[in-house]
Protein backbone atom coordinates (compact mmCIF):
# COMPACT_ATOMS: atom_id res chain seq x y z
CA UNK A 1 0.00 0.00 0.00
CA UNK A 2 1.24 3.48 -0.84
CA UNK A 3 1.16 5.66 2.26
CA UNK A 4 -0.51 9.06 2.02
CA UNK A 5 2.44 10.83 3.61
CA UNK A 6 6.11 10.94 2.77
CA UNK A 7 8.86 13.01 4.36
CA UNK A 8 6.21 14.40 6.69
CA UNK A 9 4.04 15.84 3.92
CA UNK A 10 0.74 14.55 2.57
CA UNK A 11 1.06 13.45 -1.05
CA UNK A 12 -1.58 15.99 -2.06
CA UNK A 13 0.21 18.81 -0.25
CA UNK A 14 1.71 21.78 -2.07
CA UNK A 15 5.15 20.39 -1.16
CA UNK A 16 4.70 17.30 -3.37
CA UNK A 17 2.62 19.07 -6.00
CA UNK A 18 5.47 21.54 -6.41
CA UNK A 19 7.93 18.64 -6.59
CA UNK A 20 5.95 17.11 -9.45
CA UNK A 21 6.38 20.38 -11.37
CA UNK A 22 10.17 20.02 -11.17
CA UNK A 23 10.51 16.53 -12.68
CA UNK A 24 11.90 16.57 -16.23
CA UNK A 25 10.03 15.60 -19.35
CA UNK A 26 10.34 11.98 -20.36
CA UNK A 27 13.51 11.24 -22.30
CA UNK A 28 13.24 9.48 -25.67
CA UNK A 29 14.37 6.28 -23.96
CA UNK A 30 11.74 6.54 -21.24
CA UNK A 31 9.03 7.32 -23.78
CA UNK A 32 9.95 4.32 -25.93
CA UNK A 33 10.03 2.02 -22.89
CA UNK A 34 6.64 3.31 -21.77
CA UNK A 35 5.16 2.66 -25.21
CA UNK A 36 6.38 -0.94 -25.20
CA UNK A 37 5.06 -1.59 -21.72
CA UNK A 38 1.67 0.03 -22.36
CA UNK A 39 1.30 -2.13 -25.47
CA UNK A 40 1.20 -5.09 -23.09
CA UNK A 41 1.00 -5.32 -19.30
CA UNK A 42 1.31 -1.74 -18.05
CA UNK A 43 -2.00 -0.04 -17.30
CA UNK A 44 -2.96 3.62 -17.13
CA UNK A 45 -5.58 5.77 -15.45
CA UNK A 46 -6.36 9.44 -15.55
CA UNK A 47 -6.76 11.22 -12.22
CA UNK A 48 -8.40 14.60 -12.69
CA UNK A 49 -6.52 16.05 -15.69
CA UNK A 50 -3.37 13.93 -15.80
CA UNK A 51 -2.56 10.21 -16.11
CA UNK A 52 -0.29 7.69 -14.41
CA UNK A 53 1.23 4.33 -15.41
CA UNK A 54 1.18 1.18 -13.30
CA UNK A 55 3.81 -1.49 -13.89
CA UNK A 56 3.37 -5.02 -12.52
CA UNK A 57 5.04 -8.34 -13.27
CA UNK A 58 5.03 -11.81 -11.73
CA UNK A 59 7.51 -12.61 -8.96
CA UNK A 60 9.90 -14.33 -11.39
CA UNK A 61 10.39 -11.01 -13.17
CA UNK A 62 11.65 -9.12 -10.12
CA UNK A 63 14.79 -7.92 -11.92
CA UNK A 64 12.66 -6.56 -14.74
CA UNK A 65 10.39 -4.57 -12.42
CA UNK A 66 13.37 -3.10 -10.57
CA UNK A 67 14.91 -2.21 -13.93
CA UNK A 68 11.69 -0.39 -14.85
CA UNK A 69 11.81 1.38 -11.49
CA UNK A 70 15.34 2.54 -12.27
CA UNK A 71 13.86 4.28 -15.30
CA UNK A 72 10.64 5.65 -13.78
CA UNK A 73 11.30 5.83 -10.03
CA UNK A 74 11.74 9.59 -10.26
CA UNK A 75 8.08 9.83 -11.15
CA UNK A 76 6.86 7.96 -8.06
CA UNK A 77 6.28 8.60 -4.36
CA UNK A 78 7.96 5.35 -3.27
CA UNK A 79 11.56 4.25 -2.72
CA UNK A 80 11.26 0.86 -4.43
CA UNK A 81 8.69 -1.44 -6.06
CA UNK A 82 6.05 -2.98 -3.83
CA UNK A 83 5.12 -6.65 -3.45
CA UNK A 84 1.76 -8.31 -3.87
CA UNK A 85 1.48 -11.33 -1.57
CA UNK A 86 -0.42 -14.56 -2.26
CA UNK A 87 -1.94 -15.45 1.12
CA UNK A 88 -2.94 -18.95 0.04
CA UNK A 89 0.47 -19.93 -1.29
CA UNK A 90 2.31 -17.88 1.34
CA UNK A 91 4.66 -16.27 -1.15
CA UNK A 92 5.16 -13.14 -3.21
CA UNK A 93 2.85 -13.08 -6.23
CA UNK A 94 4.16 -10.03 -8.07
CA UNK A 95 6.17 -6.82 -7.91
CA UNK A 96 4.65 -3.50 -8.88
CA UNK A 97 4.77 0.27 -8.70
CA UNK A 98 2.93 3.16 -10.25
CA UNK A 99 3.95 6.67 -11.14
CA UNK A 100 2.18 9.70 -9.83
CA UNK A 101 -0.23 11.37 -12.26
CA UNK A 102 1.67 13.81 -14.43
CA UNK A 103 1.40 15.72 -17.69
CA UNK A 104 4.26 13.60 -19.08
CA UNK A 105 2.01 10.54 -19.18
CA UNK A 106 -1.24 12.10 -20.36
CA UNK A 107 -0.36 12.08 -24.10
CA UNK A 108 0.33 8.35 -23.81
CA UNK A 109 -3.01 7.81 -22.11
CA UNK A 110 -4.77 9.75 -24.84
CA UNK A 111 -2.99 7.72 -27.52
CA UNK A 112 -3.78 4.30 -26.05
CA UNK A 113 -7.07 4.72 -24.17
CA UNK A 114 -10.42 5.46 -25.79
CA UNK A 115 -13.76 6.21 -24.14
CA UNK A 116 -16.32 3.42 -24.49
CA UNK A 117 -20.10 3.69 -24.66
CA UNK A 118 -20.29 2.63 -21.00
CA UNK A 119 -18.31 5.72 -20.02
CA UNK A 120 -15.13 3.83 -19.20
CA UNK A 121 -11.75 4.07 -20.90
CA UNK A 122 -10.31 0.97 -22.58
CA UNK A 123 -6.80 0.34 -23.91
CA UNK A 124 -7.30 0.33 -27.67
CA UNK A 125 -5.05 -0.26 -30.67
CA UNK A 126 -6.06 2.21 -33.36
CA UNK A 127 -4.70 2.38 -36.93
CA UNK A 128 -1.15 3.79 -37.18
CA UNK A 129 -0.58 3.69 -33.40
CA UNK A 130 1.92 0.83 -33.57
CA UNK A 131 3.49 2.06 -36.80
CA UNK A 132 3.99 5.57 -35.44
CA UNK A 133 5.06 4.83 -31.86
CA UNK A 134 6.71 1.40 -31.61
CA UNK A 135 10.49 1.47 -32.02
CA UNK A 136 12.96 -1.45 -31.70
CA UNK A 137 13.40 -0.48 -28.04
CA UNK A 138 9.63 -0.42 -27.53
CA UNK A 139 9.33 -3.84 -29.17
CA UNK A 140 12.06 -5.23 -26.91
CA UNK A 141 10.14 -4.13 -23.81
CA UNK A 142 6.89 -5.43 -25.26
CA UNK A 143 8.54 -8.83 -25.71
CA UNK A 144 10.25 -8.75 -22.30
CA UNK A 145 6.84 -8.04 -20.82
CA UNK A 146 4.84 -10.69 -22.63
CA UNK A 147 6.61 -12.47 -25.47
CA UNK A 148 7.42 -16.18 -25.42
CA UNK A 149 9.64 -18.37 -27.57
CA UNK A 150 8.09 -21.52 -28.98
CA UNK A 151 9.54 -25.05 -28.87
CA UNK A 152 11.78 -24.46 -31.88
CA UNK A 153 13.46 -21.58 -29.97
CA UNK A 154 13.08 -19.35 -33.04
CA UNK A 155 9.40 -18.59 -33.54
CA UNK A 156 7.71 -16.36 -30.99
CA UNK A 157 4.27 -15.46 -29.72
CA UNK A 158 3.42 -11.96 -28.60
CA UNK A 159 0.66 -12.43 -26.06
CA UNK A 160 -1.85 -9.85 -27.23
CA UNK A 161 -4.94 -11.68 -25.92
CA UNK A 162 -6.27 -8.53 -24.29
CA UNK A 163 -6.84 -7.00 -27.72
CA UNK A 164 -9.66 -7.81 -30.12
CA UNK A 165 -9.17 -9.79 -33.33
CA UNK A 166 -9.24 -6.55 -35.33
CA UNK A 167 -6.67 -4.94 -33.05
CA UNK A 168 -4.39 -7.96 -33.39
CA UNK A 169 -4.50 -7.66 -37.16
CA UNK A 170 -3.54 -3.99 -36.84
CA UNK A 171 -0.58 -4.93 -34.59
CA UNK A 172 0.61 -7.66 -36.95
CA UNK A 173 0.21 -5.60 -40.12
CA UNK A 174 1.92 -2.51 -38.75
CA UNK A 175 4.85 -4.44 -37.24
CA UNK A 176 5.29 -6.19 -40.58
CA UNK A 177 5.18 -2.96 -42.58
CA UNK A 178 7.48 -1.07 -40.23
CA UNK A 179 10.14 -3.69 -39.57
CA UNK A 180 9.77 -6.26 -42.35
CA UNK A 181 8.40 -9.14 -40.26
CA UNK A 182 6.14 -11.92 -41.52
CA UNK A 183 3.96 -12.12 -38.42
CA UNK A 184 0.42 -13.48 -38.53
CA UNK A 185 -2.55 -13.49 -36.17
CA UNK A 186 -3.40 -16.84 -34.60
CA UNK A 187 -6.31 -18.02 -32.49
CA UNK A 188 -5.35 -18.74 -28.89
CA UNK A 189 -7.48 -20.91 -26.60
CA UNK A 190 -10.55 -20.59 -28.85
CA UNK A 191 -11.68 -17.10 -27.91
CA UNK A 192 -8.46 -15.06 -27.98
CA UNK A 193 -5.89 -13.94 -30.51
CA UNK A 194 -2.11 -13.52 -30.48
CA UNK A 195 0.57 -12.30 -32.88
CA UNK A 196 2.91 -15.08 -34.09
CA UNK A 197 6.41 -14.46 -35.49
CA UNK A 198 7.59 -17.42 -37.63
CA UNK A 199 11.10 -18.82 -37.48
CA UNK A 200 12.04 -16.88 -40.62
CA UNK A 201 11.78 -13.69 -38.53
CA UNK A 202 14.18 -14.96 -35.83
CA UNK A 203 17.34 -13.22 -37.07
CA UNK A 204 15.60 -9.89 -37.72
CA UNK A 205 13.84 -10.06 -34.36
CA UNK A 206 17.11 -10.87 -32.59
CA UNK A 207 18.99 -8.03 -34.30
CA UNK A 208 16.29 -5.48 -33.48
CA UNK A 209 15.63 -6.25 -29.82
CA UNK A 210 18.87 -7.76 -28.44
CA UNK A 211 20.57 -4.38 -27.81
CA UNK A 212 17.74 -3.39 -25.45
CA UNK A 213 17.12 -6.65 -23.58
CA UNK A 214 18.29 -6.84 -19.95
CA UNK A 215 20.37 -9.95 -19.06
CA UNK A 216 17.64 -11.63 -17.00
CA UNK A 217 15.44 -11.57 -20.11
CA UNK A 218 17.91 -12.98 -22.63
CA UNK A 219 16.10 -16.32 -22.43
CA UNK A 220 13.36 -14.69 -24.51
CA UNK A 221 15.70 -14.00 -27.42
CA UNK A 222 15.47 -16.28 -30.48
CA UNK A 223 18.29 -18.83 -30.36
CA UNK A 224 20.70 -18.07 -33.17
CA UNK A 225 23.63 -20.21 -34.32
CA UNK A 226 26.96 -18.78 -33.14
pTM: 0.91
* CATH 3.30.1960.10 at 5-119, yes or no: no
Dist CA 99 CA 134 (whole Å): 21
Cα end-to-end span (Å), the chain:
47
Where are the domains positioned within the chain?
A: 5-119, 129-214
Q: Does 129-214 match 5-119 at the fold level?
A: yes
Other CB atoms within 10 Å distance of the CB of residue 139 = 25
Other CB atoms within 10 Å distance of the CB of residue 101 = 21
pLDDT one digit per residue (tens) for the chain, 226 residues? 455 656 565 666 676 777 788 899 999 999 999 999 999 989 999 987 999 999 999 999 999 999 999 999 999 988 999 999 888 878 899 999 999 999 999 999 999 999 988 989 999 999 999 999 999 999 999 999 999 999 999 999 999 999 999 999 999 999 999 999 999 999 988 889 999 999 999 999 999 999 999 999 999 999 987 5
Element (H, E) at 153: none
> Considering only the top CATH level, what class is 129-214?
alpha beta
Amino acid sequence: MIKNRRHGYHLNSSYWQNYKKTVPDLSDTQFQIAVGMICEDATMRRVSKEAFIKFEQGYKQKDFVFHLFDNFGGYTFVDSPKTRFDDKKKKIKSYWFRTFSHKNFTPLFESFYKLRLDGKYRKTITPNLVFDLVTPRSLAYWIMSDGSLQNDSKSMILHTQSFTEKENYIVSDELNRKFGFHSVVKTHKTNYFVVFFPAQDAQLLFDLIQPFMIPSMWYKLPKMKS
